[in-house]
Amino acid sequence: MTKEGIKDAIRDILKDDTQKRALDFATYLELNEMTLEKVSETLWKADYQDKCICYIYIDGTIQPPGPWTIWFDGDYRSEPGGFTISKHTKELAWKHANICGSCGGSCSPGMSKAIFGKELDNVCNSVLAFNNPDAEVLECVKNLIEMDLL
């Protein structure tokens, strides 16, 4: 794959506050020693010590998953021992459960999955999807990443 950096794509594709939030998030990932690999024209994978933490999709369009989305594939049934997720973060995670759109993928038409103790139906393989996250939602995303780094 091409070695175009995620920050180059963010600068080229996103604008204004959306661009600033995405650049700040990319810097956050770098500061936390994650590698960012471009896996397709619009998709990057963030790894920490060979563990996939999340995927970042950037296309700049108005329709979801654009202009940018952060996807998580992990196990979010409960918090790992020694790590506490706030009620607010859990509520944001529930709100951003990635409901299957019956795209024909391996999860179609979705599965029942528990996310922090709450059972949800029709959830996609990528359990959580944060589309065009604002500052508040990015704090939730960072909490989930910190939990995944344990």
For the segment 26-49, what is each residue's pLDDT rounded down to a tens digit? Answer: 999 999 999 999 999 999 999 999
pLDDT, tens only, 74-86: 888 888 877 888 9
CA quadruple 52, 142, 148, 84: dihedral, nearest 10: -170
Q: Which residues contact 39 (CB under 8 A, 6 or more apart)?
A: 1, 45, 55
Q: Residue 68 pairs with which residues in a beta bridge?
A: 58
Domain ranges of the chain: 6-148
Q: Tens-of-pLDDT digits for all 150 residues of the chain?
A: 344 699 999 999 999 999 999 999 999 999 999 999 999 999 999 999 989 999 999 999 988 888 999 999 888 888 887 788 899 999 999 999 988 766 666 666 777 888 999 998 888 778 899 999 999 999 999 999 998 887
Under 8 Å between Cβ of 73 and 88: no
Burial of 120 (0-12, 13-18, 19+ CB in 10 A): middle
